[in-house]
Amino acid sequence: MLSAASTGKGDEKPSKAKATGSRTLFEKVWNAHLVRPENQDTPALLYVDLHLVHEVTSPQAFDVLRQRDLRVRRPERTVATMDHSTPTSPPGADGRIVFLDRQAESQVRQLERNCQEFGIRLYPLGSDRQGIVHVIGPELGLTQPGMTIVCGDSHTSTHGAFGALAFGIGTTEVGHVLASQCLLQRKPQTFAIRLDGALPVGVTAKDLILAVIAKIGVHGGTGHVLEYRGSCVRSLSMEERMTVCNMSIEAGARAGMMAPDDVTFEYLADRPLAPQGPAWDEALARWRRLPSDSESLYDREVSLEVSTLEPMITYGTNPGMAIPIGSPLPDTERDPAVEKALQYMGLKPGQPLLGHPVDVVFIGSCTNARISDLRLAANVFKGRKVASGVRVLVVSGSQQVKKQAETEGLDRIFREAGAEWREPGCSMCIAMNGDRLEPGQYAVSTSNRNFEGRQGSGGRTFLASPLTAAATAVTGRITDAREILGRS
Amino acid sequence: MKPIRVVESTTVVLPNANVDTDQIIPARFLTVTTRHGLGQRLFADWRYDKEGNPRPDFVLNQENTREGEVLVAGDNFGCGSSREHAPWALLDYGFRAVVSTRFADIFRSNALKNGLLTVVVDEETHRALLAEPGIEVAIDLEAQTLRLPNGKEVTFPIDAFARFCLLNGKDELDFLLEQESSIAEHEKTLPLS
């Protein structure tokens, strides 16, 4: 692979592509979905294979359809679930689900009505397939290599782990896709993130993506589609790949992608909605042609050697403000943004984070609530107790994850340790459903955003891996899990 | 949507870099099912204290800023969540344009679809705008220029299609629906249709 100029201009791109005839994974997927290419006056018309819908960003889009007397063009390519405004406490003895308030309930009911009226498949509360939209898509086998996938949700980038072009859109665009199955899009630039080496013991996919964001910055990916490449990517499981791609948006990227390989195909085989029989063979042949050609050029490229990475943790108020867990906090002299962030967090420059007390530990979200994440956490909790005064929430990404964890007895480990074992949903990642931090509380969270107030007004978030979160839960202080589990 | 040609107004300055959409409109206000009335929640956690009283030090609570329709913001405005409630809240409050050195991709797309102009300026112009809150600026969408009180004009880039739609009050959905035959043609080539 040849390295392109570090900041390619849009008008350089076509000549480079023509010169080599090689195409990247992104370009292959993009080209295959062009109803009309872009020109100076008009963006490209891009066909959408799969449209995922949830309750928060869709009601106003369905209203537009009604106002204009439009139908959903391809209901069979549209799939809905509810995850953001939904409670994570179990239904009462009478089966009644108690919402945070009437408005949250009304939003959920509105999605039910919209799906019924427009003929859209819905996995509602109570369904054994309900869960966070970015967890259930892959789980069902809906998410497939080479697809274009959109959702009114920025963490749609998760699905890029399968070699899909998957990105978040706004509500107006949700309406566009419902009505036309297409989007008007300018072609993004490409950015290769080369990850070589093997992750050390105790260093997870979450630490990897936090290190990438810290390296390129929270706007490092703006206007670009990232392609994660290199030997490290090949060694990751699908769930680990999803954790990495999930946080591409936290570097500002339009999407993050990884070439599909045997790990991908093995994950997808026999999923309920994946192709079966001869259709599987046909799909597999197509998917094997997706990886970037060997001479492909990217507009930008960075490399990261992962074998020296440490567990990462954020200290500030955006996901780029992250350090190796044993490092002291940075100086603020040259950066007023860091100074402001530390002020919000109640931290001082140069102080260590290890040993800092926390009030809450949240294990969940579309970043880290799959079965492998829960296994990592359970391994720490096993035979240990949650530290006194610490509240721990464990929230599965989906009903299927919850069921699997219960089959493996992980729920018992969490409960016996003193953690809350809750129903699936976005929960305290976005704090819309009543699961939230109180003002001033500190939390270690396996979620994706440490913005001011993200987990509850005035709450203060440290983002980290499930290992770090669980280790912190049992000591009550920010802890390197390797101190508990050992380094081998 | 009404056509937009020129926005002339005093500026309101919020210099922080990387203002995310959770700050613009916190998630707890997203259980609404309409797009109206979000202006009162704009920047809620910076604008009000725990009891809901206005914080006097926040820019929107200062008397001379209420008429400003142009928000001058720090670099990388609108990062994070894809919520379109962010531009809805800014518009509902009364802003018609945001000026910065960079916008997050999804925010910019959402803003332009709702008639909130996103004006990208060079760092020198940005510094001048940040240094002098409340100055009168004129943003001319047709000419793609921002004019400062001293007469200095800078040009700004904007997607040609978004500009066309905004200048003519056109809805992108109409354009998409006109592509029906091309879309149907494309669908015939799909492996999984």
**What are A155-178's pLDDT values in tens digits?**
999 999 999 999 999 999 999 999
Where do the domains of chain B lie, and which CATH numbers do they carry? Answer: 6-187 (3.20.19.10)
Give the C-alpha separation, A143 to B179, whole Å. 27
Assigned domain for A103 exists: yes
From A103, which residue of chain B is nearest by alpha-carbon distance? B31
Is residue B32 less than 8 Å (CB to CB) from chain A? yes
End position of a domain, from candidates A182, A212, A245: A182
Helices (H) and strands (E) in chain B, counts: 8, 7
Q: What is the C-alpha to C-alpha distance for residues B104 and A267, in angstroms, rounded to an integer? A: 33
Residue A215, in any domain of the structure: no
Domain-embedded: residue A255: no
Quickly state the pLDDT bin for A1 (edges 50, 70, 90): very low
Residue A267 lies in a domain: no
Let me know if residue A29 belongs to a domain: no
Confidence of residue A401 (pLDDT cuts 50, 70, 90): very high
| pLDDT reading at A418 higher than 70 | yes
- Identify the domain boundary among A126, A154, A182: A182
- Residue A146 belongs to some domain of the structure: yes
Per the CB < 8 Å rule, is B177 touching A110? Answer: no
Which are the contacts of A404, defined by CB distance < 8 A and separation ≥ 6?
A371
Domain termination residue (choose one: A147, A182, A217):
A182
Check residue A488 and report its DSSP letter. Answer: -
In a domain, A388, yes or no: yes
The pLDDT value given to residue A20: 65
- State how far the Cα of B3 lies from the Cα of A467, in Å rounded to an integer: 54
Residue B131 contacts A where some CB pair is shorter than 8 Å: no
| pLDDT tens per residue across span B83-128 | 999 999 999 999 999 999 999 999 999 999 999 999 999 999 999 9
Q: Report angle CA A204, A207, A209 to the nearest 5 degrees.
A: 110
Q: What is the pLDDT of residue B190?
A: 85
Mean pLDDT across A75-91? 96
pTM summary value = 0.96
Q: Quick check: is A339 in a domain?
A: yes
How many domains does chain A contain in total? 2
Q: Domain holding A101: CATH number?
A: 3.30.499.10
Give the mean pLDDT of A262-271. 97
* Chain B residues close to A87, C-beta within 8 Å: none
pLDDT, residue A487, reads 73
User: Which segments of A95-221 are extended strands (E)?
Assistant: 121-123, 148-151, 165-168, 182-185, 189-196
Closest residue on chain B to A321 (Cα): B18
Strand partners, A184: A45
Q: d(Cα A248, Cα A267) in Å, to the nearest integer?
A: 22
**pLDDT reported for residue A226:** 98
pLDDT of residue A158: 98
Provide the residue range defining the domain that includes A85: 47-182
pLDDT at A201 over 70: yes
Q: Do A430 and B114 touch (CB under 8 A)?
A: no
Is the CB of residue B140 less than 8 Å away from at least one CB of chain A?
no
Lowest mean pLDDT among A431-435, B63-67, B177-181: B63-67
Contact (CB, 8 A) for B72 and B119: no
> Which tens digits make up the pLDDT trace of B12-36?
999 999 999 999 999 999 999 999 9
> What residues contact residue A205 under an 8 Å CB cut-off, 6+ apart?
A199, A236, A239, A240, A241, A243, A244, A465
Distance from CA of B56 to the nearest CA of A (A): 18
The residue in chain B having the minimum alpha-carbon distance to the alpha carbon of residue A339 is: B16
- Tell me what the mean pLDDT of segment A450-468 comes to: 98
B138-154 pLDDT, tens digit each = 999 999 999 999 999 99
Q: Are residues A465 and A321 in the same domain?
A: yes
Tokens of residue A39, six digits: 């020109």
* ipTM > 0.95 for the complex: yes
Mean pLDDT of A330-334: 82
d(CA B193, CA B191) in angstroms, rounded, equals 6
Q: Which residues pair with A150 in a beta bridge?
A: A51, A167
Helix (H, G, I), strand (E, B) or coil at A367: coil
Weakest mean pLDDT among A19-23, A75-79, A184-188, A366-370: A19-23
Q: Flag if B45 and A171 touch (Cβ within 8 Å).
A: no
Can you tell me the distance from the alpha carbon of A473 to that of A324, in angstroms, rounded to the nearest whole number? 19
| C-alpha pair distances (Å), A487 with each of A202, A295, A365, A466, A483 | 7, 39, 27, 16, 8
Q: What pLDDT does residue A461 have?
A: 98
